[in-house]
Amino acid sequence: MQLCPFHLAIPVYDLNAARTFYRDVFGLQEGRSSDHWVDFNFFGHQLVIHLAPKNAAQEAAHTNAVDGHDVPVPHFGVVLGMTQWEALAERLKALNTRFVIEPGIRFQGLVGEQATMFLFDPCGNALEFKAFKDISQLFAK
């Protein structure tokens, strides 16, 4: 099955700070925009940041325990190839990014072993980036 790009629209209460973050920190290509929203090529997917009032999830993220870490909920992100994930982790570290969960391996030696990292954008939206040595483990039980 061919994967189709997803479209995700998220709220940001500071459009300029969020625009700078997604463009400069991740190096995302900016697409169409207005005074209230900006499109980005989010690793082949369409991410749109929309100006909106701060919401409860942006004030203080709820967390769930996963493999010894407090994972922020809600969150979104993308599954990258391992080489791309490693390059992104190095880029973020070089920019002195503050991680919620530092880049590392989760479920080591178990089904679904994956590289993962979590961070917040300037408006409190939680992001996760992950990669699998064996992509067939993506949906493994």
The domain ranges of the chain are 1-53, 60-141
Residue 73: pLDDT above 70?
A: yes
* pTM score, whole prediction: 0.92
Domain at 1-53, CATH from 3.40.50.150, 3.40.50.720, 3.40.50.10540, 3.10.180.10:
3.10.180.10
Alpha carbon distance 31, 41 (integer Å): 7
Provide the pLDDT confidence category of residue 53 given band limits of 50, 70 and 90. Answer: very high
pLDDT mean over 54-77: 88
Share of the chain above pLDDT 90, in %: 75
Among residues 132, 138, 97, 136, which one has the least CA distance to residue 118?
A: 97
Domains 1-53 and 60-141 share a fold: yes
Write phi, then psi, for 34 (nearest 5 degrees): -145, -170
Are the C-beta atoms of 51 and 36 separated by less than 8 Å? yes
Instruction: Check residue 38 and give its pLDDT.
Output: 98
Residue 137: pLDDT above 90?
A: no
Q: What is the mean pLDDT of the chain?
A: 94
Residue with tokens 């407090």: 70
Name residue 128's beta-bridge partners.
77, 118
Record: fold of 60-141 = 2,3-Dihydroxybiphenyl 1,2-Dioxygenase; domain 1 (3.10.180)
pLDDT mean over 50-55: 94
Residue 1: pLDDT above 80?
A: no
